[in-house]
């Protein structure tokens, strides 16, 4: 590893993205003297400490899986007073911080161990100690994660200190197209020939090698000296919104489409769809002709991604990565929580709405939405009278216009009819 480590990185949450992306890339950069992570599960903290403050992550290449050991790290439980004090001091000296918790709702909890309170205390200490400026990467897969985190942190900062704190920190949204998973159980880990997180852990982190991560442009103002990130591999963009939509309505939507149709045809792993006649072609046409055409019409001219050639490369690269047998992604994992994925603004219905707004009829993603309904409740395949009520309940808080709602409902109902027709012979014929 490169020497000349002078920086401190602090992470919150010790899941696959924190361990296999932020901590991993900070370690690989050679720029950090200290790698610190907050984790609230006592057994995980203890296991990493017993492993001499090292942990392992499995990197899925296109042709193999490579285990990598990372460390030493400092792992602290914010529920423990002494650990929390060390976290606060680490934040005060950190240049880069990353949150990778399940959702923005985890930013605030009761008690002093809450993520937002620990961050607020550390940032106030940074000001008091004249510590370095820092950036905070938010990886919670929400287009306003950075704004939500900043709001909650600032609520915990005394009013008189807020301007000083704001001058030292920038909260950054991210677009993370890196696929990852957690494999649990000693037998499953051994069967897949993976290396567990630590020798005493019954979990293994498996992440793909992909690391082209997009972040908001770092801007401390024209009067401030240039800020140089230690994790230099992340790519800054002036406007993340087009790329957020490309991930949600391209990557995530097609991944979900593969999972729900994969469940219908009876495959266990996403990669098994390669052996299903017509499946890859179907997914590629959805990606390019429905999602891609809509995004190109909406954002053409803003970036090379939003051109026919650029989006084709994006789609083909993602499909190849999704179908990697070494990633071992299951349709069950990708298709979990269909209620959320059928939300008015989420990957399936949201992609349909995007396509419709650009004059494109999204029949393939509508079929995915119908398959997601069946995954949620198999009786809906033969009780279409309930579909309107089910979807309306999922869309209630979004309050869609009646005209928009009717168009989407009609496409989903038509797709349920299509599924019923194919069921009489075999769902395998869906892709023909």
What domains sit in the chain, N to C, each tagged with a CATH number? 7-238 (3.40.50.720), 242-431 (1.10.1040.10)
| The pLDDT of residue 277 | 94
Peptide bond into 259 cis (omega under 30): no
* Helix intervals (H) in 200-335: 241-246, 253-265, 279-285, 293-299, 308-322, 331-334
| The pLDDT of residue 3 | 39
| The pLDDT of residue 357 | 98
| The pLDDT of residue 244 | 97
| The pLDDT of residue 5 | 62
| The pLDDT of residue 407 | 97
| The pLDDT of residue 426 | 75
Cα 59 to Cα 56: distance, rounded to the nearest angstrom:
10
Predicted model pTM = 0.93
Those residues of the chain that have pLDDT short of 70 are: 1-5, 223-224, 424-425
| The pLDDT of residue 2 | 40
Question: For 261, phi and psi rounded to 5 degrees?
Answer: -70, -35
Question: For 205, phi and psi rounded to 5 degrees?
Answer: -95, 130
Predicted confidence (pLDDT) per residue in 107-136, tens digit: 999 999 999 999 999 999 999 999 999 999
């Amino acid at each position: 590893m490169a020497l000349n480590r002078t920086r401190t990185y602090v992470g919150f949450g010790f899941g696959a993205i924190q361990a296999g992306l932020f901590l991993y890339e900070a370690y690989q950069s050679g720029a950090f003297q200290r790698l610190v992570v907050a984790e609230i599960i006592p057994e995980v903290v203890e296991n990493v400490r017993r492993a001499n403050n090292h942990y392992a992550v499995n990197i899925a290449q296109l042709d193999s899986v490579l285990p990598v050991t990372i460390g030493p790290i400092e792992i602290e439980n914010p529920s423990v007073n002494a650990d929390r004090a060390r976290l606060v001091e680490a934040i005060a000296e950190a240049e880069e911080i990353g949150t990778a918790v399940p959702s923005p709702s985890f930013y605030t909890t009761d008690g002093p161990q809450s993520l937002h309170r620990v961050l607020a205390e550390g940032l106030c200490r940074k000001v008091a100690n004249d510590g370095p400026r820092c950036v905070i990467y938010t990886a919670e897969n929400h287009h306003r994660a950075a704004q939500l985190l900043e709001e909650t942190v600032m609520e915990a900062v005394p009013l008189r200190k807020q301007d000083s704190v704001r001058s030292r920190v920038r909260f950054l949204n991210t677009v993370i197209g890196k696929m990852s998973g957690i494999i649990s159980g000693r037998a499953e880990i051994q069967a897949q020939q993976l290396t567990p997180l630590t020798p005493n852990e019954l979990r293994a982190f498996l992440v793909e090698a992909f690391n082209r991560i997009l972040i908001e442009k770092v801007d401390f103002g024209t009067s401030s000296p240039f800020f140089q990130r230690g994790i230099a591999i992340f790519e800054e963009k002036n406007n993340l919104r087009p790329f957020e939509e490309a991930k949600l309505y391209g990557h995530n939507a097609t991944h979900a489409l593969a999972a729900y149709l994969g469940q219908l045809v009876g495959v266990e792993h996403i990669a098994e769809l390669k052996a299903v006649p017509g499946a890859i072609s179907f997914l590629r046409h959805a990606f390019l002709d429905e999602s891609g055409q809509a995004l190109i019409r909406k954002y053409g001219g803003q970036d090379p991604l939003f051109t026919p050639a650029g989006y084709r490369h994006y789609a083909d690269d993602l499909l190849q990565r999704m179908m990697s047998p070494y990633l071992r992604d299951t349709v069950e994992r990708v298709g979990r929580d269909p209620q959320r994925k059928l939300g008015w603004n989420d990957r399936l219905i949201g992609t349909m709405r995007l396509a419709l707004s650009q004059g494109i009829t999204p029949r393939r993603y509508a079929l995915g939405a119908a398959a997601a309904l069946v995954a949620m409740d198999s009786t809906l395949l033969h009780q279409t009278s309930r579909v309107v009520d089910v979807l309306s309940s999922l869309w209630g808080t979004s309050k869609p216009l009646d005209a928009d709602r009717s168009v989407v409902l009609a496409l989903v109902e038509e797709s349920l009819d299509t599924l019923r027709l194919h069921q009489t012979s075999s769902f395998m014929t869906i892709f023909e």
